[in-house]
Amino acid sequence: MSPTSGTVPTAAARSPARTVRCGLVAPLAVILSFLQAWPAAGEPSSVRAALGWDGWVRFGTWNPLTVEAGVDRPVRGWLVVDIPQEFGAQRVRLRYSVDLPEGGRAIWRVPVLVVDARRPVRVAVVAEDGAEVASAEVLPQAESAVASVVGYLGQNPPSPPPEASSGGRRVVARLREEVLPETAAAYASLDLLVVEDLDERRLNDAQRHALQAWVLHGGRVVTSGWLAAGAPLSGWLSAAQHTGRVVELSGLGSVAAGPLRELHPLPGGRPVVERSYVVAVWAARGLGRVYAWAADPQQVPAGSPLWYLALPPTTSREGPPEPDVRPRAPVGPAAVGLGAFAVLWLVSLAVAARTPWGWLLALVVLAAGTVGMPTVAREVRERSTTLDVTWVEVLVDRARRAYAWGYAQAPYRGVYTYTLPRAVAVAASGGFSEAEVSFLDDRVVVRARQGAGERLRLYWEVEGAAGAVPAVQPREGSVVFRGPGTSHGVVFWGRRQAPLEKSQEPDEWVALRWERADPQHPALVSLRWVYPAAATIVEDRPVVVLPLADGRRGWLVVGGQLP
Amino acid sequence: MNSLAIVRGDLRARLGTRKGMAVQAAFLAAVWLLGLLGTGPERGGDSPMWVASVGLLVVVVYVVTAAAGGEIAFPGEKAVLDLVASPFSAAEIAWGKALSNAAFATVCTLGAWPVLLFLQALRTGPWQESLAQAAVLLAVSWGFGGFATWLGVTVESEVSRSVLLWGGIVAFLAGAGLAGSWPWHPANAVRPLAPGWARMTCAASFVGLGVLTLWAVGRRLPRLREEVHGGP
C-alpha cells in the first residue's frame, strides 16, 4: 500500500474543525478504552466450584468439591460451603480459613457429603466481618446421581459394566490431574481409577499423597499405556513392566482383538493369564490393589473378567450402632454458680438491713448475678453434652487413617460446641437444625444448633502419616507382630483368627493358636464399618486388630504384608 | 413518712435479725435447690424448668405470705394489731404494710430472679422471659401478702387464721389446677413461654387483690381502734 492511497488523512488535508473534533475524540477514546480495560486490569472477585467426578455424584458418601476463588482485594476470612441436608430442614456449613492478598487466587479440594439432590451446594468467600466477597452455587442434578463411578485419566474412555453390583448405574468420569482430590476421603465415591495418561507434574504433593493413601487403604487403580518411567507415583502404581514388545491377538475372552503389550510382573505382581498370555498383572499396595492391563482400556469389553477382577463390590458402609447416650445434668458448675449468687445475696441483704448503703452492695450483687448467669448457663450447657466416640484407626505402611463416629444428645435447646481432632472430612446427621464445621489448623470445631432431646451424629476422618508403624509379618504358619503392648490383640487371616501372645523377644507378639474366625467378633465387626469387604482383605493377608490403648474407645487395625 | 418508718422497721426485722437471716438463708437454699432441679434434661413434654418455676412461685409466695401474716414472727416486727395503738393513722399503717410487703416481695423475687434467668439462658430463652416470670412472682406474692395482712386484722383466732390462709392458698394454687387449665392461673402464668396476656391478667388480678385487701385493712383499722379504746 502506497502512502497516498491510504485512508488515513494527512495533516495538510485536515480542516481546523476536523482537527478539533479529532482532538476531542482522541482523549475520549483513550478514556473509553481505559474504562473497557478496567475489569481486565482488576479482575473482580469470583468463585468457581465443581462438585463430584466430572459432574457425577454418589449421594450419601464423600464427593470431591473443587473450589477456585480469586479476590480483587485482600481477604482474610472463610471459604464457606453450605450443604443442604435432606428435606432442606437442616444445613451443614463447612468453613475453611482464607487469607488471600489483593489479586490472589487459591484452589481448595475438599470432600463433601452430599445427600440432597434438590438443593444447591453454595460456596462463598466471606470476610472476617461477615461481608460476602463472592459466591457461586452448584446444583447436583438428580440424573447425575449414580451408584458407581470409574474415574479415567486419558483420551478414550473405556466401557466398564454399565451396572454396579448393587444394581445402580455405573458411569465413567473423565478426569484431569488438576481435579484429583487432596484427601483420601474424597475418593470414597470412586470405585476404580483407570490411568492411561498421567502427568505427575500437574499434581501437587497433597494430591499425590491422597492417591497413595486411598490405594493403601483399599483403593484400586488400573494402569495401562506407558506411564512416565521414573516418575515416583507412576512407578508406585505400576504392577508390571512393559517389555516394549506388542503382539496382535484375537479370540481372547477378556480383551478384544488388537495389540497386546507384553508384561513382566514386578516383584509382588501376580499375572492374570488367558491362553498362556499375560493379559493383566495385579499387585497389592497396602489394603488396595494396582492392576496393569496389557491392552488399552477401550479394548476391554464391558463383560470382561478384567473389570470384575478390578472393580470392588459396591456395598454401602454402616457405622457402629448408635449408643444409648443419655445427657447428664451437670450439677457441679450450676451448684457453684447459683450457690455463689445465693451467698453473696444473703450477705448483701444482711449489710443492707444495717445500713442503707448496703442496698448498693445488693444492687452490685444483683447486677453481677444478671451478667454472670448466662455465662454459667453456657458453661453448664457445654458440659452437659459430650460426644460418645467410637474410633477405628487403620495403619497401613506409613499411611494412617482414622474413622470416628460420635453421638451426642442435647439436654436443652441451644447451640453446642464439639471439638474434634484435625479431621479432613466431617459429616453431621441426626437431630440438629444448623451445624457449622470450622476446619482450623490444629482441630475442627463443630457448632450445632440442637433442640431439646435431639441426637446429633458426627462422622469424621483423620488422615496423616503414621509415626512408628508396628510390623505384621507372616512366618511359618504364625504371624509376628512387633509393636508396643497389645494384651488383647487378635489376628485375622483367611477364615481363622488367633490371639496375640507375648513372645520371648521384647515388643514382639506371636499369633499361633488358630481357630475358626468368629464373624461376630467385635474387632471384625468394627473392621466391616470401615471396609465392608473386610472378609476379602483378611482373606489375602493377616490383619491385626487391637483395642486402642490411648484412652479412646475403638480399635487399631494394622494391615500386614502379603505372604 | 410514718409509712416509710413501718417499711424500715419491717425490713430490719425480716432481714437484719438472726431469725430473719435464717429465714433468708433457708429461702435461698430452697431457691438454689430448685435451680439445680431445673437443670435436669428435657424429657418428652415435661420440662424440669416448668417444675422449677412453679416451685419458685410456691417458695416466694410462702415466705412473703408467712411474713406478712405473722406466721413467721420476726423479733421486733410490729404487726398491724401492734400498730393499732400507735399514733399512726389508719392510712399510714395500711400504706406502710402495703409497702413493706412490696419491698419484702421484691427482695425475695430478686433473690429468685437470677435462677429464672439462669434456667432461661440454659435453654437459650430470651432474658425478657425471666423478667416476665419474675413479675408474676412479685405480683402473686404481694397479692397473697395483702390477703394475709387482711386476715391478720380480721380473724382473731390464730388457728382459724392459719387454716384459712394456708387452706385458701393451697386450694387456690393446687385446686385451681385440678379444676381446669386456666392460662392466667399463677401456676400456668409463671411457666416458661406462657402467653403475655395471661401473665398480665394474672399479675393485674393479684395486684388488685393486694390493693383490695390492704384497702380493707385500712377500713378495718378504725373499728379495731374503737375496740381497743372503748373495749372492756
Integer Cα distance of A53 and A91 in angstroms? 23
Q: Which residues of B touch A329 (CB under 8 A)?
A: 36, 39-41
Integer Cα distance of B35 and B48 in angstroms? 10
Q: Report helix, strand or coil for A36.
A: helix
What percent of chain A is modeled with pLDDT above 70?
90
Mutate to test the interface with A, among B118, B123, B129 (most CBs of A within 10 A): B118
**What pLDDT shows up at residue A38?**
40
Partner A contacted by B24 (CB < 8 A): yes
Architecture category of domain A388-465 in CATH: Sandwich (2.60)
**Type of residue at B157:** S
What is the CATH number assigned to the segment(s) A50-137?
2.60.40
Partner A contacted by B25 (CB < 8 A): yes
DSSP label at residue A3: G
* Least confident range of A127-131, A245-249, B175-179: B175-179
Closest CA relative to residue A542, chosen from A477, A486, A487? A477
Q: Where are the domains of chain A?
A: 50-137, 146-310, 331-384, 388-465, 471-559
Partner A contacted by B114 (CB < 8 A): yes
* Least confident range of A81-90, A109-118, B209-218: A81-90
Q: Report helix, strand or coil for A345.
A: helix
* Least confident range of A65-69, A114-118, A540-544: A114-118
* Least confident range of A261-265, A413-417, A520-524, A558-562: A558-562
* Least confident range of A11-25, A416-430, A498-512: A11-25
Integer Cα distance of B11 and B67 in angstroms? 10
Better pLDDT: B157 or A175 = A175
**What pLDDT shows up at residue A8?**
31
Integer Cα distance of A110 and B157 in angstroms? 82
Partner B contacted by A415 (CB < 8 A): yes
What confidence tens digit (pLDDT) does each residue in A373-423 have? 999 998 888 888 888 999 999 998 888 999 999 999 888 888 999 999 999
The answer on pLDDT for A28 being more than 60 is: no
Chain centroid to Cα A559, Å, comes to: 21
What confidence tens digit (pLDDT) does each residue in B117-137 have? 999 999 888 889 999 999 999
- Cell numbers for A261, please give them: 503389550
Integer Cα distance of A293 and A298 in angstroms? 11
The answer on pLDDT for B46 being more than 80 is: no
Beta-ladder partners of A113: A62
Cα three-residue angle A138-A141-A144, rounded to 5 degrees: 115
Residue B30: which domain range?
2-230
Nearest-CB residue to B124 (from A326, A376, A414): A414
Q: Report helix, strand or coil for A190.
A: coil
**What pLDDT shows up at residue A42?**
59
Q: Indicate the pLDDT class of residue B104, thresholds 50, 70 and 90.
A: very high
CB contact residues (below 8 A), chain A span 324-343, against chain B:
326-331, 334-335, 337-339, 341-342
Segment A476-483 shows an average pLDDT of 84
What confidence tens digit (pLDDT) does each residue in B1-33 have? 677 888 888 888 888 888 999 999 999 999 999
DSSP label at residue A178: G
CB contact under 8 A, A370 and B121: no
The answer on pLDDT for A264 being more than 60 is: yes
Most confident of A434-443, A472-481, A554-563, B121-130: A434-443
Segment A441-446 shows an average pLDDT of 94
**Residue A151: how many other CB atoms lie within 10 Å:** 22
Count how many domains chain B has: 1
**What pLDDT shows up at residue A11?**
35
Partner A contacted by B110 (CB < 8 A): yes
CB contact under 8 A, B28 and A337: no
CB contact under 8 A, A380 and B11: no
Q: Indicate the pLDDT class of residue A125, thresholds 50, 70 and 90.
A: very high
Closest CA relative to residue A384, chosen from A432, A325, A465? A325
Q: Report helix, strand or coil for A81.
A: strand
**What pLDDT shows up at residue B76?**
81
What confidence tens digit (pLDDT) does each residue in A131-167 have? 999 999 988 777 788 889 999 998 889 999 888 877 8
Segment B191-206 shows an average pLDDT of 89
Q: Which residues of A touch B7 (CB under 8 A)?
A: none
Pairing of strands A496-502, A490-493: antiparallel
Better pLDDT: A466 or A84 = A84
**What pLDDT shows up at residue B228?**
67
Q: What is the mean pLDDT of chain A?
A: 85
Q: Indicate the pLDDT class of residue A34, thresholds 50, 70 and 90.
A: very low
Partner A contacted by B167 (CB < 8 A): no
Among chain A residues, the shortest Cα distance to B48 is held by: A412
What confidence tens digit (pLDDT) does each residue in B69-100 have? 888 888 888 877 777 777 788 888 888 888 99
**Type of residue at A477:** G
Give backbone dihedrals phi and psi of A492, rounded to 5 degrees, phi first.
-110, 135
The answer on pLDDT for A476 being more than 60 is: yes
CATH superfamily of A146-310: Class I glutamine amidotransferase (GATase) domain (3.40.50.880)
